[in-house]
Chains A and B, each alone.
Chain A
């Protein structure tokens, strides 16, 4: 897990690479084209020099979907903490854990509840799937959640998404992947909006209306023409992913999380025998 954590800081997942390539080839504005070229050169240099492609390697987050019968369930928290420590030394990753109130950087990239773990338990399974995510401060800053009244409806959700992206998304290293959570309350919507960022670009919500809304939002945001780094261009986003739950009849909780163009996430599937498969980065063996 230490090796995998370090790896995802240096290499973008297959879906993100493909999307950036597509956006670059479709771009027509000269300044935007130059920025896409710098981005591609940067990823090549990171690969060649074996360095984290962006200096902000985030507060490490692990989204764990664990089978209830996974043999190392109890050890996993310790394993992931050590993985962060080791990746931080070896990669190296930036020291991004500042203890709150004490206001001191711990110097190890770990701290109270950092790395941050998100758990989901699957009853009939003996393996585990782990998403590693490095979100920099830049694409974390736009995050917003609110609770709408049902009268505001999905029209209000649409407006909220656009407001967040035009006011603050511009600074978050677009083209962005936009995660939207639709639920009951701020915390449930916020968690879903982050889980939405773990879904591959181009995948869709299973509900046809939600999937339609993903496409409408993506097309609409692209019409704004925010372009790479907010310097204008043909696109604004790499995609919009919506995750949802049933909601209280009196509320619509909505949240937006954004992932920057350097969307450094990786998914690994580990079996009960500890054999692994990397799902997010095609053809990669650690």
Chain B
């Protein structure tokens, strides 16, 4: 099976044919961007110090080590819970022109709308697989907003065949995790009823 590889800068047409559940990899640049960076751009109206047009962000707060030559080494970098950024993501996509958002777990209707309107996708990197991801980072080229501390700094990473990335929201606004959740919730009632009939310990 051929690996589908996206390369930054990503164009709208690169994403057109992608559907939820597809697996892709990324070569180029991906910038870590999470809670406070989103808040600074959207709520505090501060300009992001990195140009994200056609770019990729990673909802992640890595472990980074400063080497003797002053450069940074990526030790461990896995995805963080994307849902925390749901509140900001639609506007974030509009403001920055970002095309690929990588994180873990699902996102909600605001991100769906943002992905549809501005042609972007959300993808899941397997959570907890942080050393795997770190070995796909060739170099940390830059670090902005270091005043936020290690997890929240914007780390600009050059990556090669970074993935697997499972498309969870596509440019049509389809949402894989929401579909899955609906499926889990549909099954839930009958299972809860069955267990409940066996745990009537209060008599």
Contacts and interface: CB of A to CB of B under 8 A. Distances in A.
A39 B191 contact: no
B104 A229 contact: yes
Contacts of B2: none
A35 interface: yes
B75 A56 contact: no
Given A105-B151, A170-B177, A51 B76 contact: yes
B44 interface: no
Interface string B42-68: 000000000000000000111101000
Interface stretch (B8-16, B90-98, B110-118, B123-131): B123-131
Given A94-B61, A157-B199, A220-B194, A53 B188 contact: no
A42 B151 contact: no
A154 B106 contact: no
Given A220-B192, A226-B184, A38 B21 contact: no
Interface in A29-48: 31, 34-35, 38-39, 41-42, 45-46
Contacts of B181: 166-167, 170, 230
A92 B201 contact: no
B131 A51 contact: yes
Interface residues of A, number: 61
A209 interface: yes
A92 B63 contact: yes
A124 interface: no
Given A154-B201, A230-B106, A38 B126 contact: yes
Given A105-B148, A216-B199, A230 B188 contact: no
A220 B128 contact: no
Task: State which size class the interface on B falls in.
Answer: 35 or more
Nearest to A173: B127
Interface string A150-191: 100111011100100011001111000000000000000000
B185 A166 contact: yes
Contacts of B176: 231
A96 interface: yes
Among B126, B183, B194, B201, which residue has the most Cβ atoms of chain A within 10 A? B126
Given A42-B132, A55-B134, 15 more contacts: A31-B23, A38-B126, A46-B131, A51-B131, A53-B128, A93-B63, A98-B149, A105-B148, A105-B152, A107-B149, A153-B201, A220-B192, A224-B184, A229-B105, A230-B105
